[in-house]
Amino acid sequence: MSLDVARIRAAFPALDHGIAHFDGPGGSQAPQPVADAIARTLTAGISNRGTVTAAEQRADAVVRDARAAVADLLGADAGGVVFGRSMTQLTYDVARALAKGWGPGDEVVVTRLDHDANIRPWVQAAEAAGATVRWAGFDRTTGELDPVEVTGLLGGRTRLVAVTAASNLLGTRPDVAGIATAAHAVGALVYVDGVHLTPHAPVDVAALGADFFACSPYKFFGPHLGALVARPALLESVHGDKLLPQTDAVPERFELGTLPYELLAGVTATVDFIAGLLPGAGDRRTRVTASMAAVEEHEDRLFDRLLEGLRGLDRVTVHGSPGRHTPTTLFSVAGKAPQEVYEKLATLGVNAPAGSFYALEASRWIGLGDAGAVRAGLAPYTNQDDVDRLLAGVAEVCA
Ligand SMILES: Cc1ncc(COP(=O)(O)O)c(C=O)c1O
């Protein structure tokens, strides 16, 4: 069954503005039920989590529901879902905590393909611990990350491999499962940046072999916060910094300060919304998986049209051509600065921003420096008209 895109679009008040949004990789638009859940929770009568008053119980239920929702979204254990301000913050926290056990001679592997949020926290934590950082490159032309680039760096002292499930710059989807198998064989942990994959495909953290998997609900219709999942037993073995009166229980141990309850209610509403993208029966995990498979199919089809259109324009260069990819592409127009293209498209009601999008290493690696290029990413609410408007806009820039 395919997505009813018109029905989905009707749930997003922001789309009434008539803008064609290709800026989803930076953050998606949010549907009304998510906003309603946030407002309802904030005004329902809420206090800190507890068991005595109804307001306390409400807060407690909100947190439990949100963990269950993220677990259903990712195929994870609800007892191993950690919420934080952002994926960046969560990754810094985990890196600093894990690095307490590292020393000189230990090694960490990062890739040039990753967003800086899955590079710098590891580089800085390794530096502080005296550990060594090994860098995996990728194919500058195709944007592919050959697993050998990573597995060739593994050794008996590799403590952690940080790798992206999908590049937010080029859309590349590396063979995370293959990399994880090799990393586990040498006793290393695998930290997967799932921020850009989660909005575009069904995710199963166990199948990926991810020890840690981080994502950001605001990239898939939700509120602005981050979520990290890991096996509860693994989290039990990790000790970050925390306040003395704070519980040592997992996963709360990693959640510093008071959680944003209203945003967590928004996360639950987000996962319920995703589960309902495709009408169907079964438990929420089943419906989420079916919906995300339909999202992938819809986005793939539109993306083919987009790529074909862009490649057909004389002055346009599309960067990378990864085999397995998300519906995200990076392109340049000969003789035009990326910022100029972005600004021109914006005047036409087409949002396709320019930059390196914090995938700074990747942008430099492929020769685009810090300025990067123009990025266009599809979302489940993107329709054919949006794609045609983008192509017409780029053609106008080229003319
Ligand atoms: C692939 C990827 N990883 C990590 C991040 C950082 O996420 P957050 O804003 O939640 O820190 C982003 C944000 O753009 C991203 O696209």
Q: Where are the domains of the chain?
A: 5-30+293-398, 35-274
Nearest CA to ligand 1 atom 9: 86
Is the CB of residue 120 below 6 angstroms from any atom belonging to ligand 1?
no
What pLDDT does residue 1 have?
79
Nearest CA to ligand 1 atom 14: 26
How far is the centre of ligand 1, averaged over its atoms, from the C-alpha of 140 (Å)? 22
**What does the CA dihedral 23, 24, 26, 30 come to, rounded to 10 degrees?**
120
Which ligand 1 atom lies nearest to the CA of residue 218? 10
Rounded to 5 degrees, what are φ and ψ at 3? Answer: -70, 140
How far is the centre of ligand 1, averaged over its atoms, from the C-alpha of 215 (Å)? 8
What pLDDT does residue 393 have?
98
What pLDDT does residue 23 have?
98
What pLDDT does residue 377 have?
98
Q: What is the pLDDT of residues 89-147, one digit of tens each?
A: 999 999 999 999 999 999 999 999 999 999 999 999 999 999 999 999 999 999 999 99
Probe residue for ligand 1, chosen from 358, 361, 363 as the CB with the greatest number of ligand atoms within 8 Å: 358
Which ligand 1 atom lies nearest to the CA of residue 167? 1
Is the CB of residue 326 below 6 angstroms from any atom belonging to ligand 1?
no
What pLDDT does residue 383 have?
98
What pLDDT does residue 353 have?
98
Per CATH, which fold does 35-274 belong to? Aspartate Aminotransferase; domain 2 (3.40.640)
Probe residue for ligand 1, chosen from 82, 90, 93, 216 as the CB with the greatest number of ligand atoms within 8 Å: 216
How far is the centre of ligand 1, averaged over its atoms, from the C-alpha of 136 (Å)? 20
Nearest CA to ligand 1 atom 16: 168
What pLDDT does residue 34 have?
98
With a cut of 50, which residues of the chain have pLDDT below it? none
What pLDDT does residue 300 have?
97
Contacts of 309 (CB under 8 A, 6+ apart): 387, 391, 394
How far is the centre of ligand 1, averaged over its atoms, from the C-alpha of 199 (Å)? 12
Contacts of 197 (CB under 8 A, 6+ apart): 164, 165, 166, 173, 203, 326
How far is the centre of ligand 1, averaged over its atoms, from the C-alpha of 357 (Å)? 9
Is the CB of residue 86 below 6 angstroms from any atom belonging to ligand 1?
yes
How far is the centre of ligand 1, averaged over its atoms, from the C-alpha of 222 (Å)? 14
| Class of domain 5-30+293-398 (CATH, top level) | alpha beta
Is the CB of residue 117 below 6 angstroms from any atom belonging to ligand 1?
yes
Global confidence as pTM = 0.98
Is the CB of residue 216 below 6 angstroms from any atom belonging to ligand 1?
yes
